Amino acid sequence: MEKLFKLKEKHTTVKTEIIAGITTFLAMAYILGVNPIILADAGMDIPSVFMATAISAAFASIVMGLIANYPVALAAGMGVNALFSYTICGAMGFSWAAALCAVFISGVIFVIISVTGIRKAIINAIPVQLKLAIGSGIGFFIAFVGLKNAGIIVANESTFVGIGNLADPTVLLAVFGLLITIALVIKKIPAAVFVGMVITAIIGIIAGSLGHIEGMPTLPETFFTTSFEMEAVGAFMNGFGELFSNPFNAFVAIFSFLFVDFFDTAGTLVAIGNRIGLVNKDGELENAERALLADAIGTVFGAAIGTSTVTSFVESSSGVGVGGRTGLTAITTGICFLLSIFISPIILSAVTNAVTAPALIVVGIMMAQQLKGIDWDDMIFAASGFVTIVMMILMYSISNGIACGFIVYTIAMIAAGKAKTIHPTVWVLMIIFVVYFATPYMI
């Protein structure tokens, strides 16, 4: 263990890493229920997508742990699965097999640019101040996701967002979980976020059992299942002809998957890297090429067995929040995903949004502490950092937030007479971002 994961060097233990891995899994477990429902809107079979989601998450997370020694777990990404169903299959009219083909090709391209170092070079070209803004922005983003999932924040026709029904028992459970988790963190209780989730789940199960309240965590009638379906394995191969029957649309589909996954992953790795000290004094992410390769391999594998783009999950920060520092955290999460194939009834009934939302919000608070590193007296970094954070939240997209931040940064540098000091890679990204926003199918 020590030789493989360098536990002493990372100031962690096997116990801490396992708890962190379980915490990350619990924060990510919702994807097992949500991803099949979203991809079903593209015509895919729900049980088959569930299996593909669980197996691809397990495989990719274990690969990340072994290859990169990062405490980052992977699974079919939210947002990009909506792109798959509602844009590529819906607006553009591709079948789900053709969409899987586009995901597969984007994954292969990722492998190539990861091996050649292009992907790492792009991430390292991001200015240090923007890296801090991305990290803190993701903190606000996942806190917003948690508030939304908990029902504390809801849609509002007049003001876009508004306060939810705080008299709703499930919302009250989430509020209780949030307050108890904050208290545990302040008390410096070991694995406070994980303990908070466990306490919230137990309280919810008791309340649901005694009060028969709908929506509460429950214990299922059966704890195990042996119903396995994998109908979409290899189906991407049937989509090549259809995908390339229209070369322009094929390019748009592949580019869209590339863009969203690239910058979602970049944002996640930068945020977690900042949090655990993997960004060196030159602003470069250590061992990034291996982490990026693991992410790319996950996408290829996921498409091959029948799910949308597999990407690094920002919810991994919940595991980092309880002390996860090495690949053992990711491997533990991967093993949990494998076990979920057999114990899915427990996961889908006991681990509700009210249980996971407090963890996301508290971890978001921790990540937002990176704001202190931004030079707010420099308008270049103040403007680009602010736009990155705000747009990430309001557009509900990590990649869009990064794109907006880059555009503002470049314009601000030009206005300050510092155009010659802008990294060449930043100029290239600026053009890509403008083209992306001009694309009619952009997400």
pLDDT in tens, 339-362: 988 877 776 677 788 888 888 888
- Which helix (H) or strand (E) segment is 292 a member of? helix 288-305
CB atoms within 10 A of CB 65: 28
What number is the average pLDDT over the span 294-300? 94
Between 49 and 398, the higher pLDDT residue: 49
Q: Where are the alpha helices (DSSP H) in 212-287?
A: 240-243, 247-276
Least confident of 6-15, 241-250, 282-291: 282-291
**Distance of alpha carbon 307 from alpha carbon 198, whole angstroms:** 30
pLDDT band at 251 (very low <50, low <70, confident <90, very high): confident
Q: Is 434 exposed, middle or buried (0-12, 13-18, 19+ CB in 10 A)?
A: middle
**What pLDDT is recorded for position 210?**
80
- Give the residue from 57, 50, 56 showing the smallest Cα distance to 35: 50
Q: Which structure tokens are listed for 150?
A: 């908990």
Amino acid in position 96: W
What number is the average pLDDT over the span 22-48? 84
Q: Tokens 């079948």: give the residue.
A: 95
Least confident of 95-104, 140-149, 289-298: 140-149
What number is the average pLDDT over the span 238-260? 87
- Give the residue from 324, 123, 145, 342 showing the smallest Cα distance to 226: 342
Mean pLDDT (the chain, rounded): 87
Count of residues for the chain? Answer: 443
Q: Where are the alpha helices (DSSP H) in 116-232?
A: 118-124, 128-150, 169-186, 192-211
Amino acid in position 54: A
CA distances 29 to 312, 313, 363, Å, are: 14, 11, 16
DSSP codes, 352-393: -HHHHHHHHHHHHHHHHGGGGGS-TTSHHHHHHHHHHHHHHH
Q: Which residues contact 308 (CB under 8 A, 6 or more apart)?
A: 35, 39, 76, 77, 80, 81, 83, 84, 85, 99, 100, 103, 302
- Give the residue from 171, 194, 89 showing the smallest Cα distance to 354: 171
Q: Which structure tokens are listed for 417?
A: 């007479």
What number is the average pLDDT over the span 310-325? 88
> Is residue 90 pLDDT above 60, yes or no?
yes
pLDDT band at 149 (very low <50, low <70, confident <90, very high): confident
> Is residue 443 pLDDT above 70, yes or no?
no
Q: Is 155 exposed, middle or buried (0-12, 13-18, 19+ CB in 10 A)?
A: exposed
What number is the average pLDDT over the span 317-330? 90
CB atoms within 10 A of CB 422: 16
Q: Which structure tokens are listed for 375?
A: 């030079």
pLDDT band at 29 (very low <50, low <70, confident <90, very high): confident
**Distance of alpha carbon 305 from alpha carbon 111, whole angstroms:** 17
CA distances 407 to 151, 402, 429, Å, are: 33, 9, 9
Q: Which residues contact 420 (CB under 8 A, 6 or more apart)?
A: none
CB atoms within 10 A of CB 378: 14
What number is the average pLDDT over the span 17-34? 86
**What pLDDT is recorded for position 19?**
93
- Give the residue from 133, 162, 190 showing the smallest Cα distance to 19: 190
- Which helix (H) or strand (E) segment is 348 a member of? helix 327-350
On whether the CB atoms of residues 193 and 181 are closer than 8 A, the answer is: yes
- Give the residue from 172, 208, 179 showing the smallest Cα distance to 361: 179
